[in-house]
Structure 1
């Protein structure tokens, strides 16, 4: 990876966002870490070549202010990783409308607002956007339909934005992780025992018979940032789940 890249990682306080930001810093990139949790960003506080912002990605004013801070602190934006997201588990009979609205506000609208705010910079840099979809966007699931629908929306936004932005030289791709050991389930309010049982059940259906680790997904996110000849691709990183 080019060592002089500059960009934004949302959801950088934990999980896939943190793993991606860590890997980018190892490669010499300068990173702006955004997260709704200020405490989650503490790990970046003593790192060189970073700037952090507490951002609710569903709030246009917060997103715009954070984008201005990145421009001021880092000078430009070569890449954007839209990792901020939430999980929702529940059946059609039990799901609450407010939970569905929040899910789409963060996973879909938030991804849109952040990309819009940084779009002029990404066009100027002929840069890269990497979105976080999910393997359930590619393969039906009976237990988390609304989460799957939100991530399917992200996958289709990825393809459409890739076509829209290709004339500007901006590449847009997505990684679609399978079940991965991150705090995503805890932040969704799932009890640790329920989470453990959920991941164990999922692992039994994965061809490679295990769940993933954040670093395994982060590697592919960084490859999309660096590669200049791939756009509009939604890549499963899921131990074979999407083909099972």
Structure 2
């Protein structure tokens, strides 16, 4: 299994930090060629440092023209696309009554429309390689998530795209899977403007609800992303894989 990804090309959005960074390095260690996209060149270069199989492109997936630029960069660097990991996401927590329109539109553009447009741009190249789309999602639709209605709705929507695309694209040889992390130690809340004290308090409250009693490490999520993309996982499509420490079962 350690050589099954050699020679494949992987695109990962949000590759500058957190789950995206770890996943890019894991793919590269497995012999894959990796293009990481993100808004901050400095963090992208930090991810790629010491990994000659990782190339970077500055691109905000929410912006018009970004999907075309990302796919073109992958083709220029490696000549093919085998795996697309839609990982980039933002959260701007707010309760109903305090939702800012611009913040809501940014979340929808980054978390839902961006992945759809990027998958559409990569589609002919994924068909040529009988490739895989991995959508990184989050919460399920069965329970509410106070102060996160817009973010949660985008992630549930992305799972729906996984189900739908799996049906649409199976005849073209393309698999589509969601990996849905639970609470994971990433900078996403820092980027949302939370203070360290607020993050510590929020994390403690959530940890108390997780059956395994701890927050996930990014490496534990990246492992699943890499493995669902392997050729050995060829019968896996149209499913949401919840890697959440049991919080959805609790």
Q: TM over 0.5: same fold?
A: yes
The alignment status of 1:48 with 2:22, answered yes or no, reads no
Contact 1:138 1:152 in 2 (8 A): no
Deviates more, 1:150-159 or 1:94-103: 94-103
Equivalences for 1:180-191 in 2 at 5 Å?
180-191=184-195
Q: Pick from 23, 27, 35 the counterpart of residue 24 of structure 1.
A: 27
Asked if 2 retains the 8 angstrom alpha-carbon contact of 1:181 and 1:212, the reply is yes
* Deviation beyond 2 Å, 4+ runs, structure 1: 135-140
Please name the residue that 2:234 is paired with.
228
Q: How does 1:34-183 map to 2 (within 5 A)?
A: 34-43=37-46, 44-137=48-141, 139-183=143-187
Offset, 1:125: 0.4
Determine if contact 2:177/2:238 at 8 Å carries over to the other structure: yes
Which structure: greater helix fraction?
1
The reply to whether residue 12 of structure 1 matches residue 15 of structure 2 is yes
CA distance in 2, matches of 1:59, 1:98: 14
Tell me if structure 1 keeps the 8 A contact 2:16–2:43. Answer: yes
- Deviation of 1:180 (Å): 0.6
TM-score of the two chains, using structure 2 as the length reference: 0.94
Q: Following the alignment from structure 1 to structure 2, what is the Cα–Cα distance between the partners of residues 63 and 46?
A: 26
Q: Tell me how far 1:136 sits from its aligned partner.
A: 4.7
State the superposition RMSD in angstroms. 1.3
How far apart in 2 are the matches of 1:162 and 1:17?
A: 23
- Structure 2 CA distance for aligned equivalents of residues 7 and 204 of structure 1: 36
Partner of residue 245, structure 2? 239
Report how far residue 138 of structure 1 moved.
5.1
Q: CA deviation at 1:140?
A: 2.4
CA deviations over 1:23-61 (Å, ceiling 9, x no partner): 111111110111111111112155212221001101232
CA deviations over 1:204-223 (Å, ceiling 9, x no partner):
01111111110011111111
Distance in structure 2 (CA, Å) of the matches to 1:138 and 1:216:
24
TM-score (norm 1): 0.96
Q: In 2, distance between residues paired with 1:142 and 1:36?
A: 28
